[in-house]
Amino acid sequence: MNIPSRGNNDFDAIVIGAGFSGLYMLHRLREAGFHTRVFETGDGVGGVWYWNRYPGARCDSESIYYNYTFSEELLQEWTWSSRYPEQPEILRYLNYVADKFDLRRDIQFQTRVTAAHYDEDNHRWRITLKDGTQVSATYFISGVGCLSAANIPKFKGLDTFQGKWYHTGHWPQDEKVVFKGKRVGVIGNGSSGVQSIPVIAKEAGHLTVFQRTPQYTIPARNHPYDPAFIRQTKETYSQIIPQLHESWAGFPIAPSPRSALDDSPEVRHQVYETAWEKGGFFLTYTYNDLTINEASNETAAAFIRSKIRETVHNPEVAEKLVPHYYFGTKRPILDTHYYETYNRENVTLVDVKAAPIVEITPKGIRTTEAEYELDILVFATGYDGMTGPLLKIDIRGKNGLTLKEKWANGGHVQTYLGLANAGFPNFFMITGPESPSVLANMPLAIEQHVDWIGDCLQYLRGHGVCEIEATPEAEQAWSKHCKEVADTTLYPKADSWYTGANIAGKPRSFLIYLGGFGVYRNICLDVASKGYEGFSLV
């Protein structure tokens, strides 16, 4: 079949989002000669790194691997300052990429996509922008990210609050939030809360942290990179990249071959102590069964609990901070002086599981036990992860079926490889649900998807195919496989955003592929090499 010709508002491909995903997708498609347009809500590139400007926001992946690898020149040109750089540096990197590859001319900023409907007769996606403009494309590609739909709990009375309030993921772009001398409240202690709380505490008059579930966090031990290490890594990048591609999570760290139960308590303690001192995610790599064996998991959990009790001077506060879920089954967190922050005189910890928040009042927060007066309230309450950003858009495939309806059918999300959906031809999701995404090194996971989609579109063009669609059978099999893999681990047992448990009414399923990045990458390559097995091509 022929692909219909296009007008001014008609493109070969439309991509949503100008973060890591959208920028590389644009570059890749433009290089291949596809007429591509990116729509981005913000007025600059960066995606989550554009919006997350909260105090203390920084990367928690080793930055030397937290970048694109597609351009050797870019790899050589860019140098990260430290192990875990702050948000402005990561945003500078993405701006640098946009400039280097001249990407901005095909990005329309301050433009929200509100709807995308598939026109079956013409094999085109009809896309609506917030101002009502209609555009169309043969291929519709989502680069909306996994964690971009903010979760702001519907507390009674928020509209009556007389102070100022912010969500970490929508920090103001042009207002400097000044905490000096102010009574500040932070709700939430996931990665965003744990990063921002120590920084806010240093400036605020008084900080009250409203904690529902205590979390495990590990010291990041950030430090400037040694120039010799950077030089050596840059010289050997061509050998490192294949290792990243084959690895479990997109980092060149080999998993331990040992169970935590193979070592005596003394040896194991030393292993954990060494990892704790190194900082970062080393502790999660110490043994191969921490997320699959309850007894092994407990050894690591108990080690971190002992660190909390050692660090926090007030035993009552320490006990409130001690977590009891399986370590690692909620996203592990890296911190800089998080637990130490509770030794400060200007910091109070409120356990809102014991005394839940009843309402927000004009003056602050009222729990079942007390009212806390606040000038500034920070929601570090996370996101409707994985599916939320996609479901904010009215996406309709064949027969007018909405993505929301499709994913509600059978009570859980189903995708093929986290890349595609039966019933939604020519629609691709970069790091969609049921791909390794957030459990892998994100820029690498994004690159893998973008390359796969780019190759696929070139294949379709080369073979005169105008429509590609996942088959229902392939999709069911993939979803079943994802669930089976997840069920061999402890992950589904936690109430986390990985499962959708953090959003009231969201169907619960494990939304990330847990088979490992390297394994997944090979599956995708295999599917492509078999002429896109599991897809129907018309």
Question: In angstroms, what is the minimal distance from the CB of 151 to ligand N01?
Answer: 6
Question: In angstroms, what is the minimal distance from the CB of 250 to ligand N01?
Answer: 14
What is the gyration radius of the CA atoms in the chain, in angstroms? 23
Q: How is residue 114 written in tokens?
A: 């509100």
Q: Which is nearer to ligand N01, 333 or 453 (CB)?
A: 333
Q: Which is nearer to ligand N01, 325 or 424 (CB)?
A: 325
Centre a 10 Å sphere on the Cβ of residue 421 and count the other Cβ atoms it contains.
27
Looking at residue 533, its amino acid is E
How far is C-alpha 321 from the chain's CA centre?
Answer: 25
Nearest to 380 by CA among 121, 93, 187, 515: 187
Q: Which is nearer to ligand N01, 14 or 357 (CB)?
A: 357
> How many Cα atoms occupy the beta-carbon half-sphere of 12 within 13 Å?
17
Give the CA dihedral 25, 27, 31, 34, nearest 10 degrees: 50
Question: In angstroms, what is the minimal distance from the CB of 144 to ligand N01?
Answer: 14
Question: In angstroms, what is the minimal distance from the CB of 23 to ligand N01?
Answer: 18
Question: In angstroms, what is the minimal distance from the CB of 217 to ligand N01?
Answer: 11
Question: In angstroms, what is the minimal distance from the CB of 45 to ligand N01?
Answer: 17
Question: In angstroms, what is the minimal distance from the CB of 9 to ligand N01?
Answer: 35
Q: Which is nearer to ligand N01, 14 or 94 (CB)?
A: 94
Mark residue 355 as left, alpha or beta (left: phi above 0; alpha: psi -120 to 50; beta: remaining).
beta
Name the residue whose CB lies closest to ligand N01.
Answer: 190
Q: Which is nearer to ligand N01, 357 or 466 (CB)?
A: 357
Q: Which is nearer to ligand N01, 379 or 424 (CB)?
A: 379
- Beta-sheet pairing, 10-16 with 36-39: parallel
Strand partners, 357: 367
Q: Which is nearer to ligand N01, 195 or 284 (CB)?
A: 195
Q: Which is nearer to ligand N01, 109 or 285 (CB)?
A: 285
Residues 6+ apart with CB under 8 A from 207: 184, 185, 186, 197, 200, 201, 346, 347, 348
Question: In angstroms, what is the minimal distance from the CB of 237 to ligand N01?
Answer: 22
Nearest to 205 by CA among 373, 380, 379, 381: 373
Q: Which is nearer to ligand N01, 382 or 425 (CB)?
A: 382
Alpha-carbon distance 222 to 397, whole Å? 46
Q: Helix (H, G, I), strand (E, B), or coil: what is residue 185? A: strand
Alpha-carbon distance 414 to 30, whole Å? 30
Question: In angstroms, what is the minimal distance from the CB of 443 to ligand N01?
Answer: 11
Helices and strands, number each (H, E), in the chain: 16, 20
Binding site for ligand N01 (CB under 6 A): 59-60, 147, 153, 168, 187-193, 195, 212-213, 331, 352, 357, 380-383, 438, 497, 502
Q: Which is nearer to ligand N01, 179 or 210 (CB)?
A: 210
Question: In angstroms, what is the minimal distance from the CB of 30 to ligand N01?
Answer: 28
Alpha-carbon distance 101 to 106, whole Å? 11
C-alpha distances (whole Å) from 1 to each of 424, 427, 463 are 18, 18, 10
